[in-house]
Amino acid sequence: MKYFNYILFTIIAICLGISIFAQDALKKEMSSKAPLETTISLDNLLDSIEWVESRGDANAVGDNGEAIGAYQIHKIYVREVNRILKLQGSDKRFTYADRWDKQKSREMVKIYLGHYGAWCWEDSSKKSVEMNLLKIFEVCARIHNGGPQGYKKPETKKYWEKVKARLEML
């Protein structure tokens, strides 16, 4: 019986040691990886939106010919960006053909999201509403997909999940 207790005690000690070792290794692994919200940037968001929209294809055409380029921009989006630029006092304007240019399309998206998503940045720093970076990016992605009120539309939630999945891969 003593021999059985000795073997049982040894097995339990070994299992406990392995368990503690595994927990320590897991803690080290988890601490070496920063949370998604601290490792992502605006460029990562824009890259992810571009990937979801067109896989980075500047020649992509969608929505029955209405959505053009890497960011799948509609004509109304271009008109809105030009309106925003005018409100800002800028002389810069984009053309519909600029949708085929990746850099110009990216610039349009930044302007659009900077205008319609600006309240997110203000809320996160000035009000008691706590919005983490990932939530801000969700709002911006959904605005890009669904227009100025897109963040409120249930149908843009699925789009955000695709963008978020891509963000997690970067």
pLDDT for 8 equals: 37
The Cα–Cα gap between 120 and 28 comes to 34
Report the pLDDT averaged over residues 109-114.
95
8, 60: one domain:
no
81, 137: one domain:
yes
Residue range of the domain that includes 23: 1-33
Q: How deeply is 49 buried, as exposed, middle or buried, from its count of CB atoms within 10 A (0-12, 13-18, 19+)?
A: buried
- Report the mean per-residue pLDDT for the chain: 80
Report the pLDDT averaged over residues 17-44.
52
51, 19: one domain:
no
How many domains in the chain? Answer: 2
120, 91: one domain:
yes
90, 161: one domain:
yes
Percent of the chain with pLDDT over 90: 62
Looking at residue 145, which CATH number applies to its domain?
1.10.530.10
Q: What are phi and psi of 62, to 5 degrees?
A: -140, -175
42, 29: one domain:
no
Which comes out higher in pLDDT, residue 122 or 70? 70
pLDDT for 75 equals: 98
The Cα–Cα gap between 41 and 22 comes to 33
Report the pLDDT averaged over residues 149-167.
96
Which comes out higher in pLDDT, residue 104 or 19? 104
**Do residues 45 and 39 lie in contact, with contact meaning Cβ atoms separated by under 8 Å?**
no
84, 149: one domain:
yes
- pTM, entire model: 0.73
pLDDT of 59 strictly over 60:
yes
Give the model's confidence band at 42: pLDDT under 50 very low, under 70 low, under 90 confident, else very high: confident
**Do residues 96 and 79 lie in contact, with contact meaning Cβ atoms separated by under 8 Å?**
no
The Cα–Cα gap between 148 and 140 comes to 9
pLDDT for 16 equals: 39
97, 75: one domain:
yes
Give the model's confidence band at 33: pLDDT under 50 very low, under 70 low, under 90 confident, else very high: very low
127, 84: one domain:
yes
pLDDT of 124 strictly over 80:
no
143, 157: one domain:
yes
Give the model's confidence band at 39: pLDDT under 50 very low, under 70 low, under 90 confident, else very high: low
161, 125: one domain:
yes
54, 135: one domain:
yes
